């Protein structure tokens, strides 16, 4: 796959990270580790560290781009907590199996990035 095709494929996937679902806005964006635990994923350039566990749609899309560019497997899912919509992000490396979501969340929608699809 050419770089241009790779970029188009990545951006098509990133655009699917919802900011609204069925007319309802997503309230929270989180990331979880390979065990389904909430993790810090918002990068702070000043402290050169991951500092927050909740982010915005822009943070989610930037995180997805960075992880996909690094060759990581990536997925997101939509969930609901007390009526508020959440998007959960996760990443893993081959040959590990993924995605693993928090056990206390119901998956309403799941989308897995397929790096080999064109």
- Taking only the tens place, the pLDDT of each residue in 67-98 is 999 999 999 999 987 788 999 999 999 888 88
Q: Specify the range with the lowest mean pLDDT, choosing from 56-60, 105-109, 113-117.
A: 113-117
Residue 45 maps to a domain = yes
Q: Give the model confidence (pLDDT) of 4-19 as tens digits.
A: 999 998 999 999 999 8
- What whole-number distance in Å separates Cα of residue 33 and Cα of residue 31? 7
Residue 40 maps to a domain = yes
What pLDDT band is residue 114 in, cutting at 50, 70 and 90? confident
Q: 99 pLDDT exceeds 60?
A: yes
**What CA–CA distances, in Å, run from 27 to 2, 20, 22, 91, 103?**
36, 9, 13, 21, 20
Which residues does 103 contact at the CB level (< 8 Å), separation at least 6? 36
Helix (H) or strand (E) holding 65: helix 57-69
Write the DSSP symbol of residue 17: S
The residue range of the domain holding 102 is 3-112
When divided into structural domains, the chain yields a total of 1
Please indicate whether residue 107 or residue 94 has the higher confidence score (pLDDT).
107
Residue 16 maps to a domain = yes
Residue 79 maps to a domain = yes
**40 is written with which tokens?**
């810090």
- What whole-number distance in Å separates Cα of residue 7 and Cα of residue 50? 25
Residue 60 maps to a domain = yes
Give the chain's radius of gyration (CA, Å).
Answer: 14
Residue 66 maps to a domain = yes
Q: 116 pLDDT exceeds 80?
A: no
Q: What is the pLDDT of residue 98?
A: 85
Residue 117 maps to a domain = no
Q: 1 pLDDT exceeds 80?
A: no
Q: Give the model confidence (pLDDT) of 34-70 as tens digits.
A: 999 999 999 888 999 989 999 999 999 999 999 999 9
């Amino acid at each position: 796959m050419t770089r241009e095709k790779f970029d188009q494929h990545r951006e098509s996937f990133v655009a699917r990270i919802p900011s609204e679902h069925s007319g309802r806005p997503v309230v929270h964006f989180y990331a979880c580790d390979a065990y389904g635990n909430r993790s810090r994923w918002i990068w702070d350039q000043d402290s050169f560290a991951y500092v927050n566990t909740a982010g915005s749609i822009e943070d989610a899309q930037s995180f997805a781009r960075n992880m996909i560019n690094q060759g990581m497997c990536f997925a997101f899912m939509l969930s609901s907590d007390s009526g508020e919509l959440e998007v959960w992000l996760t990443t893993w490396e081959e040959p590990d199996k993924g995605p693993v979501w928090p056990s206390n969340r119901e998956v309403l929608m799941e989308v897995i990035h397929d790096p080999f699809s064109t």
